[in-house]
Amino acid sequence: MSCSSCSTNKSGVPNGCKSNGNCATGTCGSGNKLAVFDWLSNMTLPTGEAPFNIFEVRFKNGRKHFYKNTEKLTVSMGDVVAVEGSSGHDIGIVSLAGELVKVQMKKRKITSDSEDVKRIYRKASQKDIDIWQTARDKEQETQRKGREIISRLGLKMKLSDVEYQGDGTKATFYYTADERVDFRQLIRDLAGTFSIRVEMRQVGMRQEAARLGGVGSCGRELCCSTWLTDFRKVNTAAARYQQLSLNPLKLAGQCGKLKCCLNFELDTYLDALQSFPKQDKILNTEKGDAVFVKMDIFKKMLWYTYKEESFKWFRLSLEQVHEIIELNKNNELALPLDEYELEITEEAIVDFENVVGQDSLTRFDTPKKPRRNNRRKSKKPINKKPVAKKEGNKPSEEKPKRRPQKNQTKPVVGNKNVAKKRVDNRKEKPKNNPKTAKSKTQKGTEENKTQAQKKKPNNQRRRNNNQKNRKPNGNKNNETKNDKE
């Protein structure tokens, strides 16, 4: 929970209270886990009532302890104080003050005269803060070298975290191990390497995850590092009651144990399962005996299958299953499950309507349909090959693609023939002598005549040659005489 100073301004940039750790809510500081909002901070005590002189002080990774203010210092939330340590002093931040400290002590079962409640020496000076910061900067390098020493000694343990004391004279090494570990030689090596006093503290897998923190598979911060303080035992039976697959990769959390959230909804599932029949109950029908496959608790649907035909499942409602069980108690066989399944009707429920036009997260899951290419294929240009003449003035047998001829006509509606003009794209040869120049149609007719002359007898050829040599302006009578001859 944050105060109003943490809100954004008009430009969208966070304002920030700039209190340097003295936030009224106590949650703006980094690493402040399991924080408590002091909702009694603005309330004044009754007349003659002395303020509670025990404060809650926070250390690294949310570790908190209670300390007495025997020196009657003016201490408020967010102050950096020097407190009593096992030997020397430690530096911490005041996380809670006032009457709510009594509630926290009662929750942890700590009394005010307990030995665990130590003293506050003074407010930390600038020299104390500098020594504290330099000691905190050495923790990462100390952890790396400590892991190298553990691997060299061959110990079956995992060093998870290192915490220096505020004066820099002592370090606490947190580790996890499945078996008992003899680390006497390890303590000697660590003390000789770093020249400090060493304390080894074993923690469980869940406590390790609570200290280090992280984000779970649900997308939120780990429950054990934010609000969960008591770690209850979690069994695989909780997953069976909730009809979950017993997959250790999905049921295990970051600590390697079963997720604590399996116990959160277990009571709701147990209450809902009271109306369901036992899973080993067999349904006797006219077609055969049916056995249980699976169920949907909140939709109150069950799936059964025949022993002989286990490949096909039949969906039944909870009421239908109770009806079949009642018939079996009266030594009567129920109808086949096919007929019961046909009675179930589902109504389409629209639980979401995309009125804003936002994209769905599952829009890429459906396979795309093959895209049809509706574009027109570009027509390839026709390669016009020149007509090659063969020997003997014979026309070439290879003909280009069919083209409309010059005199070819195309019928049109209304019995009107429109002549289609022929477009010749070939280059015309230079006409040096217009008198001797011949058109293409004349050349074609002459070639046809030459072929016909070869087949005619010699007398006919001579007659044709005489006609060619005759002058064009001759008389018609002469032409007829030659034809008679």
pLDDT tens sequence across 132-156: 999 999 999 999 999 999 999 999 9
Q: Is 228 helix (H, G, I), strand (E, B) or coil?
A: coil
* Top-confidence residue, 364 or 307: 307
Nearest alpha carbon to residue 484 among 458, 463, 465, 457: 463
pLDDT of amino acid 46: 82
* Top-confidence residue, 222 or 376: 222
Q: How far is CA 370 from CA 367, 373, 377, in A?
A: 9, 9, 19
CB distance 420 to 414 below 8 Å: no
Least confident interval from 140-144, 156-160, 186-190, 348-352:
348-352
Q: What is the mean pLDDT of residues 149-170?
A: 93
pLDDT of amino acid 476: 46
Helix (H) or strand (E) holding 318: helix 318-329
Q: How far is CA 294 from CA 112, 286, 300, in A?
A: 56, 22, 11
Confidence of residue 342 (pLDDT cuts 50, 70, 90): confident
134-203: CATH number: 3.30.300.20
Q: What is the pTM of this model?
A: 0.58
Max mean pLDDT range (24-33, 173-182, 409-418): 173-182
Would the pLDDT of 233 be above 80? yes
Q: What is the mean pLDDT of residues 403-432?
A: 52
pLDDT of amino acid 453: 52
Q: What is the mean pLDDT of residues 218-237?
A: 87
81 beta partners: 92, 123
Q: Report residue 320: phi and psi, to 5°.
A: -65, -35
Q: What is the largest CA-CA distance in the chain?
A: 164
pLDDT of amino acid 231: 86
Would the pLDDT of 218 be above 80? yes
pLDDT of amino acid 380: 53
Share of the chain above pLDDT 90, in %: 33
Domain layout of the chain by residue ranges = 16-121, 134-203, 228-271, 276-342
pLDDT of amino acid 269: 92
* Top-confidence residue, 223 or 24: 223
